[in-house]
Structure 1
Amino acid sequence: MTARRHSAGGEQEFAEERASLVRITFGPLIWAMHFLLSYAGAAVFCAKFPHASEHLDLLVWGIGLATLVALAGIAWQGQRSFHQWRKGNEDSLIEEDADGSSEDRHQFLGHAALLLAVISAVGVIYTALPAFLTATCR
């Protein structure tokens, strides 16, 4: 009976760790999708309308909207990662634990996902800057 409970606990722990590992990729994935959509959208727009600078506002508004959506997704992911990192560690940011329990791994994955979310948010902002700083497709 106890072996069965231990096995079920291990499966739940493995499922949580697997979810944490997948969650780490969300911030960079959102950044990559924003990069692809922004630059591919600009390339297609400028190929179709090379001299139509009056329609360039459509492109800027589209990239601006995509940027807001990407930053919202990254912020949501960062908030979830922050709570995972801080779970069980409210007293201090760094807590020494020599045995390296599964809770420590879970908190580390939350911390890593939070840092990747911050880097991804900066990347999204830098990806969107050229759209707001250029006046033509040339």
Structure 2
Amino acid sequence: MPSLESLQPEEIEFLRWIGCFTLPPQPLQEALIKAYFHYCHSFEPVLDPQEFFNAYSKGQLCLLLLWSVFMCVATFVEDSLFLINLFQYPLTFKRNAFQRAKTLYDADYEKNKITLIQTVFLMGHFYADAEDRLGPWH
């Protein structure tokens, strides 16, 4: 799990302000993770399920990776779960998750090279709409 010791206090405060350290409620997290392993993992197995669930159950999963997974599968989860959990639409959540993952990435939050590769691969799946000029491809 990454350490915040390498970051400046103002960087940590900025990450907190963006919401990087505030995860969605547990039911939404579980639905997103279930959707990832049901819909995405079989096509692009970039994560080791056993390692993922072991780290997740211990609360040791990297936030950068977790936000990337959430972003990747937001459109596969029922809209009602987002409404219940304070997000108006899955696309709004997806944009927020991408922004949080990108902010953590830009802050050099994670040092593990494998986690960084997994994260960048997942973040590459972000697509908001045809008018998105500032997404991951730019």
- Report the TM-score, using the length of structure 2 for normalisation: 0.34
Q: Which has the higher helix share?
A: 1
Larger Rg: 1
